[in-house]
C-alpha cells in the first residue's frame, strides 16, 4: 500500500496498553461505546469496548487519513446505493437491502420476497403441510452457517413455552454421517426439507437433498417433493429439480452467499423462531446498517474495529485473530465469522488486480469461554504469537440456573482481558506473563433477535471496512473454485494428477 497515510502509520511510536491508559484518563470514553438499537429510553444495546487495543489518537488520525485515501466514504455509499461493488463478478452486494436499508428498488424487492416468505412460514406453522415437527435444512457455507448460528443462538428460549417452534437440523457436509445423524432424530411423517443454495448447483447440497427425498420415500412419504421448500437465487434450477413454484423462495443474485442469512436463506430461522422474531432480527441489523452508513471516523463502530484489525494485521504482523464467545448460545459464532472474514478478505490482489504488498485477512479462529481457557489460552498469554482477541458476552444470562453460573462466566471473561493486558512479572521465566496483549470486548445487554441481528451486521460491516482499508474486493471467492474443479475431474474418472494424489485415489478405491 503506497500512500502517505500508510507511510505515516508505519512511522508512529507504539506505546503499550498501560502507557495508553496512564496517559489518557478519558480513554474509556473514547474507545468504549454503547450502541443503542433505537433512541427511546431503555432501548436495548451493545457495548463495544476497544479500549484494550493499541489504538491511540495518532494512529486513529492516520487510519482516518488512510480511510480517506482509500475512498471509504465513496465505497460505502456505493455499497448502500446498490452499485457494482464486486467488479470481478459484475455485481452489487445488497445484503443490507434485505434489512430495509439500501436502494429503493432493492429494498422493495426484498420486502416483497419477505412478504411471501412470511406467508409461507406462517401457513406451514398453521398446518398447510400437515404436522411439521422437524425441518432438515440442507445447504453449505453461507447457506448453512448463518441459519445454524442464528437458530442455536436464539431458538433456545424463544417460541411458545421455550424452545423452537420447529426442530431444525442443519446438514451441510456431503459425508453421509451428517445426514444419518439428522435422520436418526427425525420422524419422516412430520419432517420437511429446505434446500438452501444460492446457485442450486452445489454438489454437497444437491446430493444431500436427493438423499433426503429417497429417505422420505423409503419411509412411507408418497410425495416427498410436496415437503420441499427451495431457498435460492436460481428459481428456474429449483423448478427443474422438481420443486413446485409455489414453494420456491427466491432472493436476489446481488446477495452474496456469506451475507445471505437475511434473505430466504433465513427461512429455517423464521420456522424455528416464528416470523415476528425473524423480523426483529432484521430490524436489529438495520439499526447497525444505519449507524454504519451515517457515522464518520472513529465513532463508526465497524470502522473502529477495522482500524484495530489493520493495526494488528499490517503494522504488528499478526497472522491470526481470535474470537471467544462467553456464551454457549454463540458457540457457532467463530465458525460463522471464519467464512465471513476469510472468504471475504482472504485475498492476494487489490480491487484493481494488483498484488497485495502485505497480509490481508488474518486467520480467524476461536471458541467458547470458559472451555477455551482450559485448552488454548496458554498460547494467548505466553506464546510467541501476538493474537488480538475479541470477547463476546451477554449481561443477561441465557438460562434459569442460579446466577452464580453467569457471574462466574462473566468474571472469567473480564479476567482474561485484564490478564492479557496487565501480564505478570516473575523471576521464573516459565511463570512470567509478558502482558500488553490486546483484546476487545463486545457486551450485549441481552441476547435477543434484535441485538443478535445488530451483532452479526456489525461483523459484516467490519469485514467490508477492512476490505476498503486494504483496497480489496470482499465479495468474490474464486479461491474456492480450483478444488471443486479437480474434484469434478476425479468424479469424471481422471487419473492425471501428481503421484501422491494418484496413489491416494488408488488406495481409497476411487479410480
Name, in order, each residue with C-beta under 8 angstroms of 53's C-beta and a sequence gap of 6 or more.
Answer: 17, 31, 308, 311, 312, 388, 438, 439, 440
Coil, strand or helix at 191 = strand
Applying CB under 6 A, among 198, 304, 329, 437 the residue interacting with ligand F6P is 198
Q: Return the ∠ at Cα 223 (arms to 275 and 141), rounded to 5°.
A: 50
Using alpha carbons only, what angle is made at residue 176 by residues 170 and 179, rounded to the nearest 5 degrees?
30
> How far is C-alpha 276 from the geometric centre of its chain's CA atoms?
22
Q: Name 325's bridge partners.
A: 368, 392
| Interface segment toward ligand F6P; rule CB under 6 A; list 28-36, 134-142, 221-229, 444-452 | 134-142
Q: How far is the CB of 155 from ligand F6P (least distance, A)?
A: 22
Identify whether the C-beta of residue 214 lies closer than 8 Å to the C-beta of residue 233. no
Residue 172 interacts with ligand F6P (CB under 6 A): yes or no:
no
Can residue 141 be called a binding residue for ligand F6P (CB under 6 A)?
yes
What would the 3-class secondary structure string for 416-442 be?
HHHHHHHCECCCCHHHCECCCCCEEEE
CA distance 10 to 316: 10
Which one-letter DSSP state was computed for residue 194?
E
Stretch touching ligand F6P by CB under 6 A, among 46-54, 118-126, 136-144, 416-424: 136-144
Site for ligand F6P in 317-346 (CB under 6 A): 343
Q: Does 258 bind ligand F6P (CB under 6 A)?
A: yes
**Is there a catalytic annotation at residue 343?**
yes
- State the nearest-atom distance from the C-beta of 255 to ligand F6P, in Å: 10
Q: DSSP secondary-structure letter at 35?
A: E
Q: Which of residues 459-488 bind ligand F6P (CB under 6 A)?
A: 477, 480
**Which residue among 202, 211, 310, 473 contacts ligand F6P (CB under 6 A)?**
202
> Catalytic residue at 240?
no
Q: Closest Cα partner for 72 from 304, 262, 290, 342?
A: 304
Min. distance of Cβ 232 from ligand F6P in angstroms? 8
Is 491 a residue of the active site? Answer: no
Q: What count of residues does the chain have?
A: 511
Segment interacting with ligand F6P, rule: CB under 6 A, options 94-102, 184-192, 193-201, 467-475: 193-201
The single residue among 93, 107, 140, 288 that binds ligand F6P, judged by CB under 6 A, is 140
Of the candidates 30, 199, 295, 359, which one interacts with ligand F6P according to CB under 6 A?
199
Our finding on whether 143 is near ligand F6P (CB under 6 A) is yes
Per the DSSP assignment, residues forming a β-bridge with 191 are 134
Candidate list 167, 204, 341, 343, residue with the active-site label? 343
Segment near ligand F6P (CB under 6 A); pick from 11-19, 60-68, 198-206, 467-475: 198-206
C-alpha distances (whole Å) from 453 to each of 284, 414, 449 are: 5, 24, 6
Query: Least distance from C-beta 142 to ligand F6P, angstroms?
Result: 3
Q: 92 vs 420, which CB is nearer to ligand F6P?
A: 92
Q: Could you give the string, one character per residue 84-123, with x where binding to ligand F6P holds by CB under 6 A and - elsewhere?
A: ----------------------------------------
DSSP string, 235-296: HHHHHHHT--GGGEEE--TTS-GGG-TTTGGGHHHHHHH-HHHHHHHHHHHHHHHHHHHH--
Q: Among all residues, which ones are annotated catalytic?
A: 343, 374, 484
Footprint on this chain of ligand F6P (rule: CB under 6 A):
140-143, 197-199, 202, 205, 257-258, 343, 477, 480
Amino acid at each position: 500500500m503506497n500512500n502517505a497515510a500508510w507511510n505515516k502509520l508505519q512511522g508512529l511510536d507504539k506505546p503499550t496498553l498501560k502507557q495508553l491508559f496512564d496517559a489518557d484518563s478519558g480513554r474509556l470514553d473514547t474507545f468504549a461505546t454503547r450502541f443503542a438499537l433505537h433512541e427511546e429510553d431503555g432501548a436495548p444495546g451493545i457495548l463495544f469496548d476497544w479500549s484494550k487495543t493499541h489504538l491511540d489518537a495518532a494512529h486513529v488520525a492516520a487510519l482516518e487519513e488512510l480511510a480517506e485515501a482509500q475512498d471509504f466514504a465513496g465505497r460505502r455509499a456505493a455499497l448502500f446505493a446498490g452499485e457494482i461493488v464486486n467488479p470481478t463478478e459484475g455485481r452489487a452486494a445488497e445484503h443490507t437491502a434485505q434489512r430495509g436499508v439500501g436502494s429503493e428498488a432493492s429494498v422493495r424487492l426484498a420486502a416483497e420476497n419477505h412478504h411471501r416468505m412470511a406467508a409461507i412460514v406462517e401457513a406451514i406453522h398453521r398446518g398447510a403441510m400437515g404436522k411439521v415437527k422437524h425441518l432438515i435444512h440442507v445447504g453449505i457455507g453461507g447457506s448453512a452457517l448463518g441459519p445454524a448460528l442464528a437458530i442455536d443462538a436464539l431458538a433456545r428460549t424463544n417460541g411458545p413455552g421455550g424452545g423452537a417452534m420447529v426442530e431444525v437440523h442443519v446438514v451441510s457436509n456431503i459425508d453421509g454421517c451428517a445426514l444419518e445423524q439428522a435422520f436418526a432424530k427425525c420422524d419422516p411423517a412430520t419432517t420437511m426439507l429446505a434446500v438452501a443454495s444460492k446457485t442450486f448447483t452445489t454438489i454437497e447440497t444437491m446430493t444431500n437433498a436427493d438423499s433426503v427425498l429417497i429417505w422420505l420415500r423409503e419411509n412411507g412419504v408418497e410425495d416427498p417433493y410436496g415437503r420441499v421448500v427451495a431457498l435460492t437465487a436460481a428459481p428456474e434450477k429449483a423448478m427443474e429439480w422438481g420443486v413446485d413454484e409455489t414453494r420456491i423462495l427466491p432472493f436476489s443474485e446481488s446477495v452474496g452467499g456469506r451475507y445471505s442469512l437475511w434473505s430466504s436463506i433465513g427461512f429455517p430461522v423464521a420456522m424455528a423462531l416464528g416470523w415476528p422474531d425473524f423480523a426483529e432480527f432484521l430490524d436489529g441489523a438495520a439499526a447497525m446498517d444505519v449507524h454504519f452508513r451515517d457515522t464518520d471516523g472513529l465513532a463508526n463502530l465497524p470502522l473502529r474495529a477495522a482500524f484495530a484489525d489493520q493495526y494488528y494485521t499490517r503494522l504488528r504482523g499478526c497472522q491470526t485473530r481470535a474470537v471467544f464467545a462467553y456464551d454457549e448460545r454463540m458457540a457457532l459464532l467463530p465458525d460463522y465469522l471464519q467464512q465471513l472474514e476469510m472468504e471475504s478478505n482472504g485475498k492476494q490482489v487489490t480491487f484493481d488486480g494488483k498484488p497485495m504488498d502485505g497480509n490481508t485477512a488474518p486467520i480467524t479462529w476461536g471458541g467458547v469461554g470458559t472451555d477455551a481457557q482450559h485448552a488454548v489460552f496458554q498460547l494467548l498469554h505466553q506464546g510467541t504469537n501476538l493474537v488480538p482477541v475479541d470477547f463476546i458476552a451477554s449481561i443477561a444470562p441465557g438460562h434459569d440456573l442460579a446466577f452464580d453460573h453467569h457471574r462466574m462466566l462473566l468474571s472469567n471473561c473480564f479476567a482474561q482481558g485484564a490478564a492479557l493486558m496487565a501480564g505478570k512479572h516473575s523471576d521464573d521465566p516459565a511463570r512470567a506473563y509478558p502482558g500488553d496483549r490486546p483484546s476487545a470486548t463486545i457486551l450485549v445487554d441481552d441476547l435477543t433477535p434484535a441485538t443478535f441481528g445488530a451483532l452479526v451486521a456489525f461483523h459484516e460491516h467490519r469485514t467490508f471496512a477492512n476490505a476498503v482499508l486494504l483496497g480489496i474486493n470482499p465479495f468474490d471467492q474464486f479461491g474456492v473454485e480450483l478444488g471443486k474443479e479437480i474434484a469434478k475431474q476425479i468424479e469424471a474418472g481422471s487419473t492425471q494428477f501428481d503421484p501422491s494424489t494418484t496413489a491416494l485415489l488408488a488406495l481409497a478405491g476411487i479410480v
